[in-house]
């Protein structure tokens, strides 16, 4: 693992920095993530189109599918510079770009790649992920949504839950059971579903931070053509694990987390006279902030390890689970530290005139609860690391 840019990566980093300085919308300090995406939608869409024109929506994808044909390390450099400069990133495309697209590249046919990848790279197609069900979360292989072959189609019936961005999505990657008599991991097939298909119903789920990311999705005799199967029938579990490896390697931006800690430090230093939880009156907060900053640097090393594997053409497995586990739990620790610094003011949400940072800390604290659940719980990640990384036996 090399922590420094090589010659070509250094040249590319300079090119990205120059492009951001000339073309990116002005960054808003303290604003990121969902806020940066939604603050000025049309302006951001213009910015995303500029990225797409350079092939920088997914620069590591092959040129024949609309990427720039660069290495995974070049893509890492681009993502790092976008985060460092706090410019909007196409987060609404993350399921397509970060999960569905890479899986289609690995397991899809040439026709599927040509059909589905261009829309992702143009910044137009939003995707969602139909995995979890009301009775199948951590034990995903127990899913009960059924797909029955009928001529050239499959007929799908069932329900998915906690489906991020389903209310915006054009397409879904879906797991459904095609062989009810097979062992539960071997009777599942991986589909692409058009979200405008007759019989698809989306209902919103509000999270505890009072934002609408998640949804319930119902399937009532939804017909999906056989050409929309990714990989082999009844072997969709293997494609699904590829998707999860890509998802877990992408969850949590270490740059964003470092910026969050820096914002907390700046706030604590600037409010020594009007607060009861500042650094002068509570010296233990200094140690807590130092711990968070050290942990951010550790997370950066894990991210370098994952991208180094990807750059060698490998798909991180337990390494991605390590990164997902560490980053999401660290996100929660950063959120708790923020509440310690803000005291009771940290309970004030968006819209309150007394809320520090426009209530962003309150939102982050509430939203962070989901981080260790979505994409596989911390318990699931620990089992993967134990079994596949350390070679320990199953329980």
Compute how many other C-beta atoms are within 10 angstroms of the C-beta atom of residue 204. 11
Secondary structure (3-state) at 128: strand
Alpha helices in 226-317 (DSSP H): 236-250, 254-270, 284-311
Q: Within a 13 Å sphere around the CA of 112, how many CA atoms are in the beta-carbon half?
A: 21
Which sequence positions are flagged as catalytic? Answer: 247
Q: Residue 68 phi/psi, 5° resolution?
A: -105, 0
What b/e readout covers 228-267, taking b as 16+ CB neighbours within 10 angstroms?
Answer: bbbbebebbbebbbbbbbbbbbbbbbbbbbbbbbebbbeb
- Calpha distance 108→102 (Å, rounded): 9
Closest by CA to 165, choosing from 210, 195, 145, 137, is: 195
Alpha helices in 312-394 (DSSP H): 318-342, 360-367, 378-384
């Amino acid at each position: 693992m090399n922590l420094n840019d090589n010659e070509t990566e250094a040249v590319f980093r300079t090119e990205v920095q120059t492009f951001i300085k000339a073309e990116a919308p002005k960054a808003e300090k303290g604003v990121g993530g969902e806020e940066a995406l939604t603050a000025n939608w049309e302006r951001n869409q213009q910015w995303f189109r500029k990225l797409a024109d350079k092939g920088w929506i997914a620069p590591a994808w092959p040129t024949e599918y609309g990427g720039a044909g660069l290495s995974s390390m070049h893509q890492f450099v681009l993502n790092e510079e976008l985060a460092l400069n706090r410019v909007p990133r196409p987060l609404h495309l993350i399921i397509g770009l970060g999960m569905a697209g890479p899986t289609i590249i690995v397991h899809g046919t040439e026709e599927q790649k040509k059909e589905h990848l261009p829309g992702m790279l143009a910044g137009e197609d939003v995707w969602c992920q139909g995995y979890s069900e009301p009775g199948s979360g951590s034990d995903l292989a127990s899913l009960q949504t059924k797909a029955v072959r009928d001529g050239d189609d499959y007929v799908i019936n069932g329900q998915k839950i906690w489906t991020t961005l389903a209310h915006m999505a054009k397409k879904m990657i879906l797991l459904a059971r095609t062989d009810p008599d097979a062992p539960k991991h071997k009777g599942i097939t991986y589909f692409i579903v058009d979200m405008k298909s007759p019989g698809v119903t989306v209902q919103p789920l509000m999270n505890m931070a009072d934002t609408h990311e998640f949804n319930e999705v119902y399937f009532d005799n939804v017909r999906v053509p056989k050409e929309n199967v990714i990989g082999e029938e009844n072997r969709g579990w293997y494609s699904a694990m590829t998707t999860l490896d890509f998802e877990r390697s992408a969850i949590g931006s270490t740059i964003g987390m470092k910026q969050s800690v820096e914002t907390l430090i700046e706030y604590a230093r600037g409010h020594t006279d009007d607060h009861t939880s500042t650094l002068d009156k509570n010296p233990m907060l200094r140690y807590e902030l130092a711990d968070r900053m050290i942990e951010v640097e550790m997370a950066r090393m894990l991210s370098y390890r994952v991208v180094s594997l990807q750059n060698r053409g490998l798909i991180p497995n337990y390494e991605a689970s390590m990164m997902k586990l560490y980053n999401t739990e660290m996100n929660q620790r950063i959120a708790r530290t923020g509440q310690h610094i803000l005291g009771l003011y940290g309970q004030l949400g968006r819209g309150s005139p007394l809320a520090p940072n426009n209530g962003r800390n309150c939102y982050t604290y509430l939203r962070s609860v989901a981080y260790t659940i979505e994409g596989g719980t911390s318990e699931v990640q620990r089992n993967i690391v134990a079994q596949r990384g350390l070679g320990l036996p199953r329980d």
